[in-house]
Amino acid sequence: MYERNYKLLRAKFSEFFLPTLFTSMAGNICLFVDGLIVSFLIGASNLAPIQIVAPVITFVNLIYWMIGLGGSVLCSVAKAEFDDEKSNSYFSVSIISLISIGVLITVIGLLFSGSIAQFLCSSQPELVSQVSQYFIALVIGMPFLCYMMSLSYFIRADGIPQLPFRAILIANIVNICFDIIYIKFFNLGLTGAALATSTGYLVGSILISYYFFKKERTLEFIKLKANAFFKFIKKIVTSGFSSASTQLYLTLKLLVINFLVGLYVGKSGVVAFGICYNSLFILYIFLIGTAQTMSPIVSVYFKEEDYSGVDYIIKRSLKIVVASSLALSVLFIFYPQALLFLYSVKDPADVPVVLNALRIFAISYVGTAITFLYTFYAQAIQKNRLSTIISLLEGFLLPISAAVILSFAIGGNGIWISFAIAELLTILFIFAYSRNINKKTNGEYTGFFINKHNDDERVFEYTINGNIEEAVNLLQRKSQKLPYLG
């Protein structure tokens, strides 16, 4: 009669899950559709230069994650301590630094575009010209990207979450619309695709600047001396690097994989990798939506020592990510033609390479889902070191090592197989780690997710109707057994 039925916990999870899923869907669908439109208008072969330039974007992501996200976290702490001067200092230093860095990236990119393109195309020198023209148009938008994304973190920290969501969503929609305008009507080709992206960043920057006209905003720019400025930036970078490090791993991974694919498979392989990489945008809709819903709930319940609640949430989250990743994996293993159709892949040289790559790459989806969820889970239960190790293994060391070894041993297929191998080895590491923790703690922690058991002598865990009579009856039944009610 009084057993816990988890109805309230299930309702709370659903309450957070749908809005988070839709937010994740908005960003990832726009990125996915952007690739579809570009390939439809100028051909799937032009995905190769775009994929080669991808590490530049992830490198810029690293910068604004590190400074923007790191600064916003410190700003939130300062606001919680009612230290307005410090919170405004973090805000001012972060935004000014990122705008300056964005401008510097643009200047360096324009001055050395040829050398950068040659570096990016080290295994595909015939693509240097295309990569250069795409890179030049794209790098113009970097100051706007840095400004828009960094400001979005601080606006959320200031309690105005809807504005950055709308600005970033509209920026993506503008990108898609101007893809059509620049490419179809102005015949700008790859340059048009990059200009559309930069235009989206510009419009998003204008829209998000409405924050400075809002009466409810609490953050403002203040002047700082040079020594104070650098003191704050050091704290910001230190705070933000842990979270941003995933983008560093991704940048290095893309550089190496692009090189290996170009070396062992050629241009068609780079096209294939671009489509495989873009297919992850669909998967990440479910992974990000689930992980970001799970994380705060697990964090609260773990802190309150409600371990059965933690167990319920993580199992529910695991079912969602495994089911969604398995469905996509089966779809693209057996029907990879669906993505070929969407990306308008028609070149006879590209078709077999893309089909083969997609079928093998899709095997890694389920492993990606499990490791991604576990990374967020480890952070939620305050095992940040474990989360960092998983990110390093899964995001860089294992895929790169596997790709280098397998490509040398069996050629191009080894590169596609390396992604699944990396996920499998990461899961095996987590399994071994959890077994070790379970043994060390003599069963205090148990299972793959190293969760604890509720102490029946200390935890009161039952479900009743909301009336006094049932509450009194239950307390009377349990009073002899529970010296402590937690």
Q: Is residue 361 part of a domain?
A: no
Q: Has residue 339 been placed in a domain?
A: no
Q: What is the pLDDT of residues 343-377, one digit of tens each?
A: 989 889 999 999 999 999 999 999 999 999 998 88
Asked if residue 32 belongs to a domain, the reply is: no
Asked if 71 and 93 count as a contact pair (C-beta separation under 8 A), the reply is yes
φ, ψ of residue 462 in degrees (nearest 5): -145, 160
DSSP state of 46: G
Helix, strand, coil abundance in the chain, percent, nearest 5? 80, 0, 15
Q: How many domains does the chain have?
A: 1
| Within-domain flag for 172 | yes
Tell whether 4 is covered by a domain: no
Average pLDDT along the chain, 486 residues, taken 10 residues at a time: 60 70 68 86 91 93 89 86 91 95 97 96 93 95 93 86 86 93 94 95 96 92 91 89 83 95 94 93 87 80 82 91 96 94 91 96 96 87 85 92 96 96 96 91 83 61 56 56 40
Question: Which of 315, 456, 313, 398 minimizes the C-alpha distance to 9?
Answer: 313
The DSSP call for residue 463 is: -
Residue 231 domain-assigned (yes or no) = yes
Give me the pLDDT at residue 14, please.
73
Predicted TM-score (pTM) of the model is: 0.86
Domain that holds residue 209: 43-245
Closest to 114 in 3D by CA, of 99, 126, 131: 131
Q: Contact 49/134 with Cβ under 8 angstroms?
A: yes
Is the separation of the CB atoms in 368 and 423 below 8 Å? yes
The whole-angstrom separation of Cα 376 and Cα 292 is 8
Residue 268: inside a domain: no
Backbone angles phi, psi at 452, to 5 degrees: -95, 165
SS3 75: helix
Q: How far apart (Å, rounded) are the C-alpha atoms in residues 475 and 486?
A: 13
What pLDDT, on the 0 to 100 scale, is given for residue 458?
Answer: 54
Amino acid in position 66 = M
**Would residue 200 count as lying in a domain?**
yes
**In this predicted structure, what is the pLDDT of residue 459?**
52
Check residue 379 and give its pLDDT.
80
Q: How many CA atoms lie within 13 A of 2 on its CB side?
A: 14
Task: State how beta strands 445-446 and 451-452 pair.
Answer: antiparallel
